[in-house]
Amino acid sequence: MIVAGNWKMFAGPDPEALAERLDGLDGVDVVVAPPYTRLAACVEAGLVTYAQNVHWEAEGPFTGEVSPPLLLALGVRGAIVGHSERRQLFGETDLGVARRGQAALDAGLHVIACVGETREERDAGDTGTVLRVQVQAIGESCGPHDRLVLAYEPVWAIGTGLTATPELVQEAHTLIKSLLDRPVLYGGSVKPENAVELLAQPAVDGALVGGASLEIDSFAAICEAAARSRS
């Protein structure tokens, strides 16, 4: 079980207080992905820390980007790639996501690669096609790498308060695993109130948590639910 907290462009909770709250929790691997200004503080607090994005080049004239070697030098352990907000708001493509993931893995980082459909795509019956295209792009570049984890995050459930039903999540995760045999997290308005039911699905290997990761008690409750789900 893996629970990753994506703080997005928020300062997030105090890293030392979060590390203390999670100390001694067994049965779940906890990751935090803070904004760049909080990476060092999270590393220093002993939290397993990922960046929210990573470039495919080691260095160069890429203003606003960060490379795998720069992250590793800071003590960062991994990176998220292909988050729906990066795809929808910043125009990242399947090819670019795959390149980012491959470069991060080649450098020694862990990767959470995100896939998911929009509301329009789901309503049109295209969820399966969208997931196949996105997952295959990642698979062709990265393969079933042992440091690669996928995250299914239906775009219509990101920051909207909407959550896919456990049945829809199980169906999507089963499809993704049939395309690339790696663990799959669910991301999409995960809260303490729905975490137990979502994490109980056999094909769900954890959660990618957004807003609920900004408050220590709610994030800890999700982590504890994940730990219990496989006990």
Our answer to whether residue 153 is catalytic in this structure is yes
Residue span of the structural domain in which 14 resides: 2-229
The CATH code of the domain that includes 121 is: 3.20.20.70
HEC secondary structure over the chain: CEEEEECCCCCCCCHHHHHHHHCCCCCCEEEEECCHHHHHHHHHCCCCEEECCCCCCCCCCCCCCCCHHHHHHHCCCEEEECCHHHHHHHCCCHHHHHHHHHHHHHHCCEEEEEECCCHHHHHCCCHHHHHHHHHHHHHHHHCCCCCEEEEECCHHHCCCCCCCCHHHHHHHHHHHHHHCCCCEEECCCCCHHHHHHHHCCCCCCEEEECHHHHCHHHHHHHHHHHHHHCC
Our answer to whether residue 83 is catalytic in this structure is yes
Q: Which pLDDT belongs to residue 231? A: 66
Q: How many domains does the chain have?
A: 1
Catalytic residue among 55, 83, 110, 173: 83
Catalytic residue among 85, 92, 121, 153: 153
Query: pLDDT tens digits, the chain, 231 residues: what are they?
Result: 999 999 999 999 999 999 999 999 999 999 999 999 999 999 999 999 999 999 999 999 999 999 999 999 999 999 999 999 999 999 999 999 999 999 999 999 999 999 999 989 999 999 999 999 999 999 999 999 999 999 999 988 877 777 789 999 999 999 999 999 999 999 988 999 999 999 999 999 999 999 999 999 999 999 999 999 976
Q: Which pLDDT belongs to residue 162? A: 73
